[in-house]
Amino acid sequence: MDFNLKITKIEARDLPDLWFQAIFNILDNGRRFTIDRGSYAGQTRLEYDYFIGHVKFPDNDPLIPEMPPTCDISRPVEEAYIYGGPGYERSYLEYLMTGEKAPGESYKYGEKLTKALRSIL
């Protein structure tokens, strides 16, 4: 087992700034690996061993970064995915912040969060 994790820390002005810095940093400092199973088997990815992002002004708009066309990098996610909209039954924020599961779901990110909040309140 390798316990020599490389910690990458990025300080950013807002979320779009963090996204840009993380993308450009991982191109130089990311660890390359090949996916060995699943629907993406054989594809190569870059990853950080351990990533810390400090956002100084997280409430600045926009929440989702606009990618300059010259970067040839797509947006990390569609706005409708975050806030809800055409093509999405519910928003990611609803999925993240609530513990209510839909039929067929075995786990939601919001389960632990809402359980912790109920124990405090």
55-67 pLDDT per residue, tens? 998 877 666 667 6
Higher-confidence residue of 119 and 46: namely 46
Higher-confidence residue of 65 and 45: namely 45
pLDDT in tens, 89-119: 778 777 777 777 778 777 777 777 777 777 7
The answer, yes or no, to whether residue 10 has pLDDT greater than 90, is yes
Going 109 to 73 to 46 to 58, the CA torsion angle's sign is: negative
Give the Cα separation of 81 and 74 in Å (integer): 14
Give the Cα separation of 28 and 17 in Å (integer): 17
**54 confidence band (pLDDT: 50, 70, 90):** very high
pTM above 0.75, yes or no: no
Higher-confidence residue of 71 and 30: namely 30
> Is the CB of residue 49 less than 8 Å from the CB of residue 5?
yes
Average pLDDT over residues 80-85: 80
